[in-house]
A = this chain, B = another copy of it.
Amino acid sequence: MSIKIALLGFGTVASGVPFLLKENPSKITEAAHDRIEITKVLVKDDDERNRLLAAGNDYNFVTNIDDILSDDSIDIVIELMGRIEPARTFITKALEAGKNVVSANKDLIATHGKELIELAKDKGVAFYYEAAVAGGIPILRTLANSLTSDKVTRILGVLNGTSNFMMTKMVDEGWTYEDALKTAQDLGYAESDPTNDVEGIDAAYKAVILSQFGFGMTIDFDDVAHKGITTITPDDVAVAQELGYVIKLVGDVREVESGISAEVSPTFLPKAHPLASVNDVMNAVFVESIGIGESMYYGPGAGQKPTATSVTADIIRICRRIKDGNVGKPFNEFVRETKLANPADVKSHYYFAINTPDKKGQLLRLAEIFNSEDISFEQVLQQKANGTRARVVIITHSMSKTQLADVTAKLEAVEDFQVVNTLKVLGE
């Protein structure tokens, strides 16, 4: 006997699954209590099939999903195609056909996860997706199994390898955003349209999924504010370094009294913070909780083998649960009513870079505006006066998102002030 699986898609990640089955057979077979056998692989069309066969891939390639859905011998369907369609339709049909499903598709799970999780529950089958967040880092299962006794208060994550590679170059080498993007594209880290990576959208998908496992709440993707790294200038990076910070694109999910808030934004991290030394394409998830206190989970956020390792761990778990007769247990059992935080409760320190006229009294004008919103300064730097314009950098004490919106509106209403950038600052 063996457990029979089908792969939907045979791209980079999918071909990592056969790699693991071949390189680590005895451990995987013993853990799964059964041999795992890839019996069918769905590809787009005959051309792709012929190309893969010609390249020496010895699988039963099919081009119609029904060949998999109607095959009763297949226990688990592995979706590794990415994007929303046809993945959504295929997963839905597989669950409806009573198949267990493993997916690494963060876009889909963040936007349509609720209906798929519900469907899997109705059908009494498994729907697991460890690889959807931070690729090789086993963060979802760890939150579900090991932090089950703990109460998570905040999750901070470097969740996108492409933008982290770019920020590392911008911070360590002083590169501009444009240079960093070009190199990321040349190295194959960034796509020709890099929007999802550089605008924080990919990280926001992951923040949605982390909110479920960490806080038991399903925040809608549209409720995750995201701000990308496109506006970061060498000036911002240099000021951060001068003040003892490193700028990274950080996903931030936290619970305050009124509910949870999730956002992705470039963030000033104190140099001694564990996330500050997560560099290049690596990811990390930093968890604050009442029990453990502070813990961090670090590893590759993408890539063939890391992602396939998470996918295969999901497959093994399903095999074991099939034997145990409890395969219908949800991946994440921690569910509470979702409550969004009141922005007035969500507080951070902030960095403001403001251009002002280069004449006397500007700092007083700024101080009056911040003071009118009850915001006080932690650090102020006046820089780069050129006789016409000056640049003032302010790090504030803790202030709310409401105060942030209000003070930004007031600053922007002043004709001769220009708010160049506003970034969150993680307090020490």
User: What residues make up the interface of A, taking CB atoms closer than 8 Å to B?
Assistant: 16, 20, 23-24, 27-28, 30-31, 130, 136-138, 141-142, 145-151, 216, 272, 274, 277, 279, 289-300, 303, 305-306, 308-310, 312-313, 315-317, 324, 326, 333-334
By a CB distance below 8 angstroms, the chain B residues around A309 are 147, 149-150, 289, 291-292
Q: Which of B24, B30, B146, B272 contacts A313 (CB 8 A)?
A: B146
Q: Which of B292, B294, B298, B315 contacts A274 (CB 8 A)?
A: B298
By a CB distance below 8 angstroms, the chain B residues around A136 are 291-293, 295
Q: How far is the CA of A147 from the CA of B306 in the complex (A)?
A: 10
Q: How far is the CA of A148 from the CA of B142 in the complex (A)?
A: 13
Copy total for this chain:
2
3 A-B pairs with the lowest CB-CB distances in the bound complex, closest first: A138-B146, A291-B309, A295-B299
A-B contact pairs, 10 of them (CB 8 A): A27-B216, A31-B149, A31-B333, A138-B295, A142-B142, A145-B145, A145-B317, A149-B309, A291-B308, A292-B309
Q: How far is the CA of A315 from the CA of B146 in the complex (A)?
A: 11
By a CB distance below 8 angstroms, the chain B residues around A291 are 16, 20, 24, 136, 305-306, 308-309, 312
Q: How far is the CA of A18 from the CA of B417 in the complex (A)?
A: 55
Q: How far is the CA of A306 from the CA of B294 in the complex (A)?
A: 9
By a CB distance below 8 angstroms, the chain B residues around A145 are 138, 141, 145, 313, 317
By a CB distance below 8 angstroms, the chain B residues around A295 are 136-138, 297-300
CB pair A151 B24 closer than 8 Å? yes
Shortest Cβ gap from A244 to chain B (Å): 15
By a CB distance below 8 angstroms, the chain B residues around A298 are 274, 295-298
Q: How far is the CA of A324 from the CA of B327 in the complex (A)?
A: 11
Contacts A142-B142, A148-B316 known; A303 to B293 CB distance under 8 Å?
A: yes
Shortest Cβ gap from A428 to chain B (Å): 14
Closest to A279 in B: B272
Closest to A216 in B: B27
Q: How far is the CA of A317 from the CA of B334 in the complex (A)?
A: 14
Q: Which of B31, B292, B294, B333 contacts A148 (CB 8 A)?
A: B31
Q: How far is the CA of A326 from the CA of B296 in the complex (A)?
A: 31
Closest to A291 in B: B309
By a CB distance below 8 angstroms, the chain B residues around A313 are 145-150
Q: How far is the CA of A118 from the CA of B272 in the complex (A)?
A: 44
Q: Which of B146, B290, B293, B300 contacts A292 (CB 8 A)?
A: B300
CB pair A20 B306 closer than 8 Å? no
By a CB distance below 8 angstroms, the chain B residues around A274 are 277, 298
Q: How far is the CA of A151 from the CA of B22 in the complex (A)?
A: 11
Q: How far is the CA of A260 from the CA of B222 in the complex (A)?
A: 50
Q: Which of B151, B289, B333 contacts A30 (CB 8 A)?
A: B333
With A136-B292, A272-B279, A277-B277 already in contact, 8 other A-B pairs whose C-beta atoms are closer than 8 Å: A24-B150, A27-B148, A31-B333, A291-B305, A291-B312, A292-B306, A295-B297, A295-B300
CB pair A23 B293 closer than 8 Å? no
CB pair A299 B305 closer than 8 Å? no
Contacts A274-B277, A291-B308 known; A151 to B23 CB distance under 8 Å?
A: yes
